[in-house]
Chains A and B, each alone.
Chain A
């Protein structure tokens, strides 16, 4: 098992399986064939011989634990494994350096999605090639970083090696040449040569080594260098090396010059040249014959080095295979072979050459590796095979998701539909994005990938976004912004509710109210308003005045909130000694039924000091209404069954209150009638 254990919260432990196991099997199931045995992941601490296990799927991971179920009924109680394990499928996400790859490529991905509208025709293809190169340069930057870390002797996170990155870049580059650039015969070989040169980097150091020595042509690696240069088609450089040899040993000077001339005269396609392929082929044929004549004439018979070089330039397979070590791999062999035997190879013919080159190079000694199969599939222009093989061979979704998306933008995958879910592009993007969401911090990147999955992206995002832990309000705001931008009202409500609940639990009523206002959650606003009113009844003063005084139109969210705001306004008016306004507001709170019945007694009690003021505040009509409110309230009182001592005492206080109110109301009524009468009379 490849993987690592990480400490997970709540005493559980995490184990990771490598590779997109689950999805691969899904894929295979649909195609009704199996691409190899699924790998077995052993869970540390669990004895699978004796114990049964249970599991549950999560969006990006899986929970596994031991059950107490036992096949043999009366077995000894073996102490089980007390942990719940989290099985993650995409562990490369946890590699620190790869985070740069994910973040940087995210920007490129988002840019690529916009290309659709902006470019058409030829400029579009140029843009796609540029995007592809950008992706590759990000991979290369990561490789460089890993090289640096390795050279500084840091402990790298072992899971992901430079060789995998470089294989990814190699495959991507080939796909770029064949599928995106779609180079025609002629330029195709030039691209392939560049491809090989880019991935065999030891030449430059060797060249510096040899040229830096006192006598280059006597250097032990001199001929090795020249051969490599010829194999890579760098004939100008090879010619310069030969002239050094010619200078150093006059005996072979003549031969060197002849071979040098052959190198110089080899017809090549130069980008700016207008000659047709037929012309080139004709010239090349002449040149080829000339080389052959020199070989037959024994021009280089006295120098085995020069002779073998000439054989290479003739595309002689045996001579090429002799240099197996310098070629290092079959695709180098393929490209060199094409260069010297069929420089105008057509894209469609590539795959025969590729297959035979692979067979010749391996010579039955070893079997093809996954990388070989992927490259072979690319040479066969079988995009789906490339993607499938890559999915199996690579342990993360980054590569296939981005490559497929790019190829899809090149309109190469239209016809292909899967038997499940959506198309392949979307399927791979969803898998990749789910992996990002499973990561503690990379979830923000995943959002944009989901956005560009037209069919299932939205539902996936809805499922994932709800599971993000909201540790701080700041983080919650970021999650909220994601939801609000996409009109995900259900998620917005749920997030605000979580935050409001949290605030209530922390006794932060003001905060709780703000959140329920933001979510337009009337029920919760009512609940919080009740808490405010209860606190007021207990303490006799309001908290969080800065918020309640500034509710504005938000007050209309729920009746209770309106009441809270208005009731507070009553207190403010009263405090400012605007008694008449305060009185009519108080009365309207009851008559308009905004105030909950349970609060009426408090309101009526609040009316008492107004009734006792020197000047008359409640008019006769208002006093009648107050009296009616009071009588309504009393008549509704349910009769208690068997009152206990406490209740008796409460009732006592209540009765006194009512009595006082009645006296106050009666007196006010008298005063107001007199006042109104005398005013009318005057």
Chain B
């Protein structure tokens, strides 16, 4: 973790996302998108970490990321997802959802599709509606699902002007994030500590399952699903806790891990190496969680330092006939056998780290201190 490049970009970064690699390609990640927030003018921008820095000799030292192109975005960028290699879906605080198209030939971005009032409040007694921020978006070509502060869930298709399906009042509180569980099921987290599973095949606006934190119902801000084991889900909450859930059983998290000191804004399993998990937080830290069990003597912060962890006794012993390697290291409840090593990735505390993304050996994150950090040697 020696080489982590920082670049100050004069705008607060709310989201960072790697462009997906074309299937079968051998190259590593080299392009990422960012969205800004809380500026008078907000932008969706594309950056390259390729060898452009060398070509453009006065443009900076090697490894620095260079701006490819950007486009004005109305309102804060609340969420950002690549739809495919060329298209980026952005969620706005104005309730608008926009699909941007990247033209690699002349390095420009353009709007290819827009749903301007995807999220809105219907005020009491007044037919006119005011916009509500869209807080989360997830793509699974050709579908796009968005959630918002209005508690609404929208299902769009990239090529349709109208929403395919809308669930009004899906949630009484604010929906903070959404992810696909397995088509056509999605999973949302809200501001009262609940995780809800929705099945688009079902009629009506009731979730098919509700899981929730007990106790003080701390709001959940982010959610990610294990790339291989679709029943394993990680969420991060307002109190900085990392919760691991097994959606097949129980209504409570399998384990609660005390992590950051403030809101956990994002959690991501490593897409191809899911024993590794990454989290970032309002407290300005970015953590790498390593739950791989191949190094037995690995020391753990949990057991040495002051960090306490609470493993809820939620036994999975009835699963012992499952082949050992198939049990996710995240679901294990035996703290003696499995240890998690945590590394802090940023050199010094800064303002809130709002977003991160991992792809292969590369990681990118963006902060309120208007810096973008990139590393290309995650596992070195």
Of B40, B78, B350, B369, the residue contacting A472 (CB under 8 A) is B78
Q: Does B121 sit within 8 A of A, measured CB to CB?
A: yes
Chain B residues touching A, majority SS: loop
Contact in complex: A550, B123 (CB < 8 Å): no
A536 to chain B minimum Cβ distance, whole angstroms, is 14
Given contacts A507-B121, A510-B151, A511-B173, contact A550 B217 (CB under 8 A): yes
Of B10, B135, B169, B192, the residue contacting A550 (CB under 8 A) is B192
Interface residues in A494-513 by Cβ distance below 8 A to B read 505-511
- Cβ contacts under 8 Å, A441 to chain B: 11-12, 38-40
Contact in complex: A508, B150 (CB < 8 Å): yes
Of B124, B172, B216, the residue contacting A543 (CB under 8 A) is B172
Identify the closest chain B residue to A99 (Cβ): B10
Given contacts A477-B263, A481-B262, contact A103 B369 (CB under 8 A): yes
Contact in complex: A473, B172 (CB < 8 Å): no
A575 to chain B minimum Cβ distance, whole angstroms, is 15
Contact in complex: B172, A474 (CB < 8 Å): no
Contact in complex: B191, A440 (CB < 8 Å): no
Type the 1/0 row for B112-136, where 1 means its CB is closer than 8 Å to any CB of A: 0000000001111000001011010
Type the 1/0 row for B169-182, where 1 means its CB is closer than 8 Å to any CB of A: 10111100000000
Q: Does A444 sit within 8 A of B, measured CB to CB?
A: yes
Interface residues in A86-143 by Cβ distance below 8 A to B read 96-97, 99-100, 103-104, 106-107, 110-111
Of B238, B352, B368, B370, the residue contacting A100 (CB under 8 A) is B370
Identify the closest chain B residue to A439 (Cβ): B40
Q: Does B212 sit within 8 A of A, measured CB to CB?
A: yes
Given contacts A506-B132, A511-B191, contact A547 B351 (CB under 8 A): no
Q: Does A544 sit within 8 A of B, measured CB to CB?
A: yes
Identify the closest chain A residue to B12 (Cβ): A441
Of B58, B174, B370, the residue contacting A473 (CB under 8 A) is B174
Identify the closest chain A residue to B133 (Cβ): A472
Of A107, A474, A543, the residue contacting B369 (CB under 8 A) is A107
Chain A residues touching B, majority SS: helix
Contact in complex: B78, A474 (CB < 8 Å): yes
- Cβ contacts under 8 Å, B135 to chain A: 473-474
Q: Does B70 sit within 8 A of A, measured CB to CB?
A: no
Contact in complex: B171, A507 (CB < 8 Å): no
Q: Does B306 sit within 8 A of A, measured CB to CB?
A: no
Contact in complex: A509, B172 (CB < 8 Å): yes
Of B123, B149, B369, the residue contacting A505 (CB under 8 A) is B123
- Cβ contacts under 8 Å, A508 to chain B: 121, 149-151, 172-173
How many residues from A make CB contacts under 8 Å with B?
41
Contact in complex: A106, B38 (CB < 8 Å): no
Type the 1/0 row for A453-487, where 1 means its CB is closer than 8 Å to any CB of B: 00000000000000000011111011001000100
Type the 1/0 row for B122-163, where 1 means its CB is closer than 8 Å to any CB of A: 111000001011010000000000000111000000000000
- Cβ contacts under 8 Å, B214 to chain A: 552
- Cβ contacts under 8 Å, A100 to chain B: 8-10, 370
Contact in complex: B348, A111 (CB < 8 Å): yes
Q: Does A554 sit within 8 A of B, measured CB to CB?
A: yes
B190 to chain A minimum Cβ distance, whole angstroms, is 8
Q: Does A148 sit within 8 A of B, measured CB to CB?
A: yes
Contact in complex: A547, B350 (CB < 8 Å): no
Q: Does B81 sit within 8 A of A, measured CB to CB?
A: no
Q: Does A323 sit within 8 A of B, measured CB to CB?
A: no
Q: How far apart are the CA atoms of A660 and B132 in the complex, in Å?
A: 47
Q: How far apart are the CA atoms of A561 and B8 in the complex, in Å?
A: 48
- Cβ contacts under 8 Å, A485 to chain B: 262
Q: Does B93 sit within 8 A of A, measured CB to CB?
A: yes
Q: Does A546 sit within 8 A of B, measured CB to CB?
A: yes
Interface residues in B186-212 by Cβ distance below 8 A to A read 191-192, 194, 196, 210, 212
Q: How far apart are the CA atoms of A554 and B216 in the complex, in Å?
A: 8
Given contacts A104-B8, A475-B38, A546-B194, contact A148 B58 (CB under 8 A): yes
Q: Does A423 sit within 8 A of B, measured CB to CB?
A: no
- Cβ contacts under 8 Å, A341 to chain B: none
Q: Does B76 sit within 8 A of A, measured CB to CB?
A: yes
Contact in complex: A546, B352 (CB < 8 Å): no
Q: Does B282 sit within 8 A of A, measured CB to CB?
A: yes
Contact in complex: A546, B192 (CB < 8 Å): yes
Identify the closest chain A residue to B58 (Cβ): A148
Contact in complex: A554, B217 (CB < 8 Å): yes
Given contacts A444-B351, A471-B76, A514-B191, contact A507 B124 (CB under 8 A): yes
Q: How far apart are the CA atoms of A473 and B191 in the complex, in Å?
A: 10
Given contacts A148-B58, A478-B282, contact A552 B93 (CB under 8 A): no
Q: Does B371 sit within 8 A of A, measured CB to CB?
A: yes
Contact in complex: B210, A546 (CB < 8 Å): yes
Q: Does B24 sit within 8 A of A, measured CB to CB?
A: no
Q: How far apart are the CA atoms of A99 and B192 in the complex, in Å?
A: 36
- Cβ contacts under 8 Å, A481 to chain B: 262-263, 282
B296 to chain A minimum Cβ distance, whole angstroms, is 36
Q: How far apart are the CA atoms of A550 and B76 in the complex, in Å?
A: 32
Contact in complex: A472, B192 (CB < 8 Å): no
Identify the closest chain B residue to A102 (Cβ): B370
Q: How far apart are the CA atoms of A445 and B10 in the complex, in Å?
A: 13
Given contacts A97-B10, A107-B369, A511-B173, contact A440 B39 (CB under 8 A): yes
- Cβ contacts under 8 Å, B368 to chain A: 444, 478
Contact in complex: A550, B194 (CB < 8 Å): yes
Interface residues in B293-320 by Cβ distance below 8 A to A read none
Type the 1/0 row for A214-250, where 1 means its CB is closer than 8 Å to any CB of B: 0000000000000000000000000000000000000
- Cβ contacts under 8 Å, B104 to chain A: none
A487 to chain B minimum Cβ distance, whole angstroms, is 15
Identify the closest chain A residue to B41 (Cβ): A440
Given contacts A99-B10, A546-B171, contact A552 B78 (CB under 8 A): no
Q: How far apart are the CA atoms of A481 and B263 in the complex, in Å?
A: 9
- B121, B192, B352, B369 pick with most chain A CB within 10 angstroms: B192
- B11, B151, B217, B348 pick with most chain A CB within 10 angstroms: B217
Contact in complex: B192, A440 (CB < 8 Å): no
Q: How far apart are the CA atoms of A543 and B121 in the complex, in Å?
A: 16
Contact in complex: B122, A507 (CB < 8 Å): yes
Of A148, A440, A546, the residue contacting B172 (CB under 8 A) is A546
- Cβ contacts under 8 Å, B132 to chain A: 506
Contact in complex: B121, A552 (CB < 8 Å): no
Of B123, B238, B262, B351, the residue contacting A506 (CB under 8 A) is B123
- A103, A104, A440, A547 pick with most chain B CB within 10 angstroms: A103
Given contacts A473-B149, A506-B130, contact A96 B10 (CB under 8 A): yes
Contact in complex: B169, A543 (CB < 8 Å): yes
A87 to chain B minimum Cβ distance, whole angstroms, is 18
Would you list 26 pairs from A and B whose C-beta atoms are within 8 A, ordered by A residue?
Answer: A100-B10, A103-B371, A107-B350, A111-B348, A444-B351, A444-B368, A444-B369, A471-B38, A471-B76, A471-B93, A472-B93, A474-B37, A474-B133, A475-B37, A477-B282, A505-B124, A508-B121, A508-B150, A511-B172, A511-B191, A514-B173, A546-B172, A546-B194, A546-B196, A550-B217, A552-B215
Q: Given A507-B122, A511-B149, A546-B194, output 9 extra A-B contacts at Cβ < 8 Å.
A: A110-B349, A148-B58, A471-B133, A477-B263, A510-B151, A510-B172, A546-B172, A552-B215, A552-B216
Q: 5 closest pairs, A vs B, by CB?
A: A510-B172, A544-B172, A506-B121, A100-B8, A99-B10
